[in-house]
Structure formats: structure tokens, C-alpha cells
Amino acid sequence: MAFEEEPQPLKIYFIPYLAAGHMIPLVDIAMLFASHGHHTTIITTPSNAKTLPTTPNHHFRVHTFDFPSQEVGLPDGVENLTGSTDLESSWKIYQASVILRNNIEDFVEQNPPDCIVADFLYPWVEDLANKLHIPWLVFNGFSLFAICAMEALKAHPIVDAHPSGSFVIPNFPHHITINSAPPQFSKEFMDPLLTVALRSHGFIINSFAELDGEEYVNYYHKTIGHKAWHLGPASLTRRTNKEKAERGEKSVVSVHECLSWLNSNPPNSVLYISFGTLCYWSDKQLYEIASAIEASGYGFIWVVPEKKGNEEESEEEQEKWLPKGFEERNREKGIIIRGWAPQVLILDNPAVGAFITHCGWNSTVEAVCAGVSMITWPLHSEQYYNEKLITEVRGIGVEVGVAEWRISAYRENEKLVSKDVIEKAVRRLMDGGDEAERIRQCAQEYGKKARQAIQEGGSSHKNLTTLIEELKQLKASKSLQ
Ligand code: UDP
């Protein structure tokens, strides 16, 4: 990434939440400001700091505070939700983020910036910014479409859900039926955070305006009355293979070998399967996925949770989640990655023909950037909304057809999704035909639009320039007071 010098640099602090899906994109967005010559500082903890970009840029700094491991009862080094394996440890990470508040506040007050960009899970930043008379922007890693859906439901709670749990989003630009209703506690947790966010200088969105669409940019601006700044796709700030490979944790497989294997496969012949960083699977469900992949006959890269297939796992244990002999039979056909995969590089490879995804927003935008069509299998959080943007609104994917909003990422689904259902969705995209071709073309067009958005004159580039100008004016008017 090229770096500009800026005669009147802004000083901006970024406070990402301690979860890969929140931290990775916000750090990329901070890099974007740094590349325009503004002084950016990421405020985080030591283990998280190790996952940040190593590209030298004197405008990009990191300030760490020790993670309160002992106070919350977590082993040393577990400082991110990616390292948590159950609801209890994820709650401890959240507790730690609450404990860090005082240290962060003291630091920020003693070294005040011109602006703070903070995750919406830190609503207390509002008071801090007000005290310092500086603007504050929020981020949560969601699509604007999902935020709009949540706002619509805040204003008009669901009263007429179908017995299956599906419901129509009220007073919305499109007629959208969501397959499964959010659990009440999830709404109770999210709604107050979204309300605080409405008092900020705006929501930063890791996407580009064309993907959410003008309807939702206008809906958020006019109906909800708040500003959204589409500055992404964040992943496109990583230009070289090295920068892409370094995004997030360290890959557990050789990036070179993984890419060589992909390069040896014909275009659009490989399925990529990953459900993000927060996902528990029962052995039975993994078995169904494995059976579907094998029955489809396509090549695959399948990312499974780290615990699966580690050296201590006996053959007997392995047979519970993999059909007998699966790995030997598929040695040439595919790769199982047990742990962190170099996702952006995999998606970028022309051999990848479709992505079975949980519709986490980062994964979704990364697939869009690569022009890869998606097979959607949402699990929790805002993923059920993203599914509809992908399939019904933008036409760049097909649904597996799941309809069960998990109570937590660490709980298995009550209903098993069978091999046949998964295989059918895979074939819909991978076997070709008019529908698959239309979806693939549409996905590739959005890929082009994504790249245009960040170039000079593109929508995200213009938004970034406008936002920087606004922040400079706010800084200038403050210095006159
Ligand atoms: N990711 C990755 N390798 C993995 C798992 C995840 O690079 O093995 C990255 C992925 O590219 C994305 C982020 O981690 O940038 C996951 O974010 P997402 O919103 O898709 O899902 P979440 O983990 O928050 O549910």
C-alpha cells in the first residue's frame, strides 16, 4: 500500500473489539486512514497486537494494555474470542474488555486524539468523546443491510412470526422473509448498543455502497436518521500475497502448498467451506457435511475447528465426524484445514467455484471481492439478515435452507442439516446450468464493483475523502473555541 504525506494529519484512535471478525476489518480501515497520511493508533492487548499488520508505516501505531487474564480467569495468551471455546470463556473476554475501560480512558484523556473509532461493544466511548469534545464513530463489522433490519425490528417488534419462526421485516425497502427469528436475549443485548451508536458521528461499514444498495443507504439516513460511512471492502487494503496471508492469525497450513494445490485445479472446480471463527459443530453435523462434499465429487478446502483431527485424536474419535476412510479417499481431492486458513488468498484463487459460508459479514465481503458465489448457511448473530442480502437482494448465492437461529455460537443446532440437503445446494451452484451461470456472473460483477469502489473516484474512496474533510473541519472548529 502506498503512503501519502498529509500536511495537517488527524490523530485517530481505533478501539477494536477482541474478536477476529471485529478486529481484522477495523485494523484494515485504520490502515486506510494511515495510508492517507493520518496518525492512527490501534488500542488493544499484547496477544492481539501480534496479529496486526507488520507492513512498516510510520503513521500506524499500536498501543497495548495488559489483558487482565487473572482477574477474569483465562489462561495467558487467550485475549480474543477466536481463542474461546465456550460461552463461559467468551463471556470472560467480554468482562476483560469491560475491565480495560479505565486504562483506555486514562490513556485517551492524557493523549487526546481528534477522533475515536470504537466498536459498538464499547458504548462508554460516547462519554469519553463528549468529555474531550471530539467526534466518535462506531463500528461493529455488520452490513448496513443487517443494521437496517435490526433498526426496523427495534421500531416494529415481530408480532406475527410464522410458527416455523420465519417473519417479514416490517416497513422495509424490500419484502424480505427471514428464515428464523432472533432469540429475545440477542435483541435485548443488541438494541441498546445500536441506540447508543445512533448518537455517534456515524457508523463505519466494511462494505461499499453498491453492495448494500442505495435503498439501504437512504433508509438508514432518512428513516433511521443516522449516517453510515461505507469505506470498504477492508480486505482490499491488503495488496500483496504476504499482506493477505498475514491477515488475522497465522495460517496452520503452508500458504504456498495450499495455493499450489489450488493452482493445480481447473477454474471453478473447488468448494471452499468455512464457518468463521466462532462456531461449534457436533460430530454428527460434521459427518453430514463431509458426506455431502464427497458425494458431490468436487474438490474442496474445508476449514474445521482446531480440535478436530489433532494429533491426540484417536481413529475412533475421528470416525465420529468423518466417514471411514474419508481422508485417504480424498487425499488428492481436497484439503481439511484444522484451524486458521488463509481465507482471502483461497477465495481469490480462480479454482474456487463456490463458498459454503455462515454469512459472517467479513467472509461475505471477501467472497464478493473475489467474485465467488455463495451457498448460505447462517448460524447466529446478524447472519440470517446477510443471507437474504446475498441470495434474494443481490442474487449472488443460494440458500442451504436452514431455519434455526442458534442461541449461541457454542451451541449445536437442534436440527441436523442432512447430507442430501447440503449436496443439493452445492450442486445448484457447482453443476452449472442457467441459474448457476447467472449467479456466478452477478457475483463477478459485484467483484468488479468492489474493486472500483476503493479506487480514486469510487464510492468508498469518495466517502473516505469526505469523512476526512469533515473530521478536519471539526478539528479546526474545535481549535477556534
Ligand atoms: N478468517 C480467516 N481464516 C480462518 C477463519 C477466519 O482468515 O480460518 C477470517 C476471515 O477471512 C474473516 C474473519 O476471519 O475476515 C471472520 O469474520 P466473519 O465476519 O466472516 O465471521 P466471524 O468469525 O466473525 O463469525
pTM metric for this prediction: 0.96
pLDDT at residue 310 tops 70: no
Average pLDDT over residues 240-244: 93
The predicted structure's pLDDT at residue 217: 98
Average pLDDT over residues 162-182: 91
Between 28-32, 168-172, 203-207, 279-283, the lowest mean confidence (pLDDT) is in 279-283
What would the pLDDT profile of 176-202 be if each residue is shown by its tens digit? 999 999 988 889 999 999 999 999 999
Q: Whose CA is nearest to atom 10 of ligand 1?
A: 363
Centre of ligand 1 to C-alpha 474, Å, is: 35
445 and 200 Cβ atoms separated by less than 8 Å:
no
Round the average pLDDT of the chain to a whole number and report it. Answer: 93
Q: Whose CA is nearest to atom 13 of ligand 1?
A: 21
Q: Is 17 in the pocket of ligand 1 (CB under 6 A)?
A: no
Average pLDDT over residues 352-373: 98
Q: Which domains does the chain have, with CATH numbers?
A: 11-236+454-480 (3.40.50.2000), 244-451 (3.40.50.2000)
The predicted structure's pLDDT at residue 376: 98
pLDDT at residue 419 tops 60: yes
pLDDT at residue 6 tops 90: no
Q: Is 53 in the pocket of ligand 1 (CB under 6 A)?
A: no
Residue of 28, 114, 119, 348 marked active site: 119
Average pLDDT over residues 225-243: 95
Of ligand 1's atoms, which has the minimum distance to the CA of residue 357?
Answer: 20
Pocket probe for ligand 1: among 251, 277, 368, 383, the residue whose CB has the most ligand atoms within 8 Å is 277
The predicted structure's pLDDT at residue 314: 66
Q: Is 366 in the pocket of ligand 1 (CB under 6 A)?
A: yes
Instruction: Determine whether 119 is an active site residue.
Output: yes
Centre of ligand 1 to C-alpha 58, Å, is: 27
Average pLDDT over residues 272-284: 92
Between 151-155, 314-318, 378-382, the lowest mean confidence (pLDDT) is in 314-318
The predicted structure's pLDDT at residue 13: 98
Average pLDDT over residues 457-463: 98
pLDDT at residue 355 tops 70: yes
pLDDT at residue 309 tops 70: no
Q: Is 362 in the pocket of ligand 1 (CB under 6 A)?
A: yes
pLDDT at residue 54 tops 60: yes
The predicted structure's pLDDT at residue 411: 82
The predicted structure's pLDDT at residue 301: 98
Centre of ligand 1 to C-alpha 276, Å, is: 4
Instruction: Determine whether 175 is an active site residue.
Output: no
Centre of ligand 1 to C-alpha 379, Å, is: 14
Give the pLDDT band of residue 384 (cuts 50, 70, 90).
very high
Output 299 or 306, whichever has higher pLDDT: 299
Q: Is 343 in the pocket of ligand 1 (CB under 6 A)?
A: yes
Of ligand 1's atoms, which has the minimum distance to the CA of residue 24?
Answer: 15
The predicted structure's pLDDT at residue 206: 98
Average pLDDT over residues 317-331: 88
Alpha-carbon gap, residue 84 to 185, rounded angstroms: 21
Q: Is 172 in the pocket of ligand 1 (CB under 6 A)?
A: no
What percentage of residues in the chain have a pLDDT greater than 90?
Answer: 84
What would the pLDDT profile of 400-413 be if each residue is shown by its tens digit? 999 988 877 888 88
Centre of ligand 1 to C-alpha 344, Å, is: 9
Average pLDDT over residues 376-383: 95
Which of 375, 361, 362, 359 has its CA nearest to residue 272?
375
